Amino acid sequence: MLLDSSPIAAVITSLKGKFLFANRRTYELMGVTHGSALESGAALYADPDRFDELVKKFARDGSLREEEVQYLLPNGSKIWCLVNWQNIEYDGQRAMVVWSYDITHQKSVEAALEHARDLAEEASKTKADFLANMSHELRTPLNAIIGYSQILQEDFEETGHSDYIEDLKRIESAGKHLLGLINDVLDLSKIDSGRMDLYLEAVVVSRLMDEVFSLTKPLATTRSNRLTFSVPDNLPILHTDFVKLKQCLLNLVSNACKFTDGGDIAVRAWAADDEIFFDVTDTGIGMTQAQTEKLFQPFTQADPSTTRQFGGTGLGLAITQRLCRHMGGDVSLESSPGVGSTFTIRLPVKLEAVTSPSQPQMPTINSSKTGARILLVDDDPQIHHLIGTMLEREGYQVEHAHSGEAALLKAEELRPAVILLDIMMPKMDGWTVLGKLKESDTLKLIPVVVVSLLDERPLSLSLGADEVMSKPVDRSQLIAVVRNYVGSSSARILIVHENEDDQPFLSSTLSAHGYDVIEATGNIEALSVLATPPTPSVMLVSQHDAFDILEQTRDHPAFADLRIIIRASGELSMAEAAFLKERGAVVLPPGIAPQSALLKALETLKL
């Protein structure tokens, strides 16, 4: 019989499961002597429920193909087989043939691979956790080194001790260099672990190139290189992550500047089909084929002497390649020794995938307003001294809270213009504080900037933070962020109350936002304040008092530039509305939150 010589185990059974025939390979597979009695039916299966499942499936479909099962052998061991069941005619009766192909080795290999994958994932997670923890430990003292070196430079400039300034600049530069290396390692770790999020937005390529040019021009000049950028007018709007694309271009242009002396570096953007390309071409030292093959590997540079001569971790190009691929594109290289190199970034014009919440747009307020009250929340006294000094030197009033509980109390009491919030605090952490601030009707409109070692931007934004900054804090970035949220004027504002209990919180709100606030109760006191220099530039008055005050000041030249904001308490008649329109008054409708409406009205006045 042909079945007896088959290399695959085969048995024929009755429809009730009785063995009618088994070939030699079956006895070998079961580990028993040829001709011995064999178990049949469910007794052969390590999992009887699996056997019942196959029987039902066979009855329904009339056959089984490539089903994985585990047999229980007579000696107690188990093997995995791939089985096929098929209806046949045998000795004049209906029967079925069961083919069993041993896949035990394959399953063992799969299990070993899965175990190895689990170990690799665990090792990767351990590495990522280690890098994150180490980065926190390293960046905390770096925060102090960089920040205090900047403060001391300002102090010595003011006192005329210029001899120390160059040394302090070297300290600051070294600190920033070390910070850059740490950030490179962290970036690579985040990309490799899939924790690097994309923030997609419409990118105008000309604006992107302008920023990269302004940042890299000084670096090119230091090595006597000529840097040129070329951007056609007809390029499409790019839909991608602006910050990460900018980082890629900065890496490539900086590398070109580093490895070129007295040469040319040309950056060109161009489009083809649904893709956009960025070429960075230099006339530098170039590379051999062998050098280019390992260039995108982490911690690798084209030549070991490169590290000694130029420094760096060898991570810049590895990060660039991974970021480009993360954004749906890639980066390629053409190079010749002694001739130069061309790196080309290729990206889709529109990247569809979004892995995290969109980054909110920051307010378009650009000039600072000294005197605004800032609440700094952190459990580290050194951070309070460092960031507090930076802000106070810009003229801001800095209030301090050293715990989450104190932050909520001071926010309610002071109504600051901005809250700078740390996350890792004992007892009540920053997440809890942020949640409570956004749940409060009186505090939810205060901008909150998370300032933390934790890299949790998506979570921070989803919980209501307006901006996220990483420690160590860059002084110029900190000031720029604060300026964006505190307003654009230091106008003198007169608040006219109907009585002494009328909306006292409006005064504290305006003061917190840096406005010079004067208060008056009733018309007579208000007119007295208006007549006393310096004249307020804005007057906030209730509907009840507005018309009397406006009537008495309408023809007075000293009040020609006085802007009026009226808190309406009811409907205005046509005559009243016409009178207010003539005076250019801004009317706040009744029934809305007075604080937010007032701040928006002040913005519209463009003081």
Q: What is the pLDDT of residue 463?
A: 82
Are the C-beta atoms of residues 8 and 22 closer than 8 Å to each other? no
Reported as a single tens digit per residue, the pLDDT across 330-370 is 999 999 998 999 999 999 998 765 443 333 333 333 333 44
Burial class (CB in 10 A: 0-12, 13-18, 19+), 120: exposed
CA distances from 588 to 46, 375, 425, 570 (A): 79, 28, 40, 11
Residue 583: its H or E element = helix 574-583
Nearest to residue 259, comparing CAs of 217, 218, 297, 225? 225
Which residue numbers in the chain have pLDDT < 50?
302, 304-312, 354-370, 488-489
DSSP letter at 396? P
201-348 CATH choice from 3.40.50.2000, 2.60.40.2550, 3.30.565.10, 3.40.710.10:
3.30.565.10
Q: What is the pLDDT of residue 550?
A: 79
**492-605 topology per CATH:** Rossmann fold (3.40.50)
Q: What is the CATH number of domain 373-486?
A: 3.40.50.2300
Reported as a single tens digit per residue, the pLDDT across 498-512 is 765 555 567 776 776
Rounded Cα–Cα distance for residues 279 and 409 (Å): 54
Q: What is the pLDDT of residue 190?
A: 66
Between the CA atoms of 368, 174, 452 and 360, what dihedral angle is there, to the nearest 10 degrees?
50
Q: What is the pLDDT of residue 488?
A: 42
Rounded Cα–Cα distance for residues 506 and 485 (Å): 18
Rounded Cα–Cα distance for residues 376 and 378 (Å): 7
Q: Give me the DSSP letters along 474-536.
A: PHHHHHHHHHHHH-S---EEEEEESSTTS-THHHHHHHHTT-EEEEEEHHHHHHHHHTSSSPP
Q: Structure pTM?
A: 0.43
Every domain range in the chain assigned CATH 3.30.450.20? 9-107
For the chain, the residue count is: 607
Rounded Cα–Cα distance for residues 422 and 430 (Å): 6
9-107 CATH choice from 3.30.450.20, 1.10.3720.10, 3.40.50.12140, 3.30.70.2190:
3.30.450.20
Q: What is the pLDDT of residue 558?
A: 59
Q: What is the pLDDT of residue 189?
A: 66
Q: What is the pLDDT of residue 355?
A: 41
455: three-class secondary structure by DSSP: coil
Angle at which helices 505-512 and 594-605 cross, to 10°: 50
Q: Max alpha carbon distance in the chain (Å)?
A: 122
Every domain range in the chain assigned CATH 3.40.50.2300? 373-486, 492-605
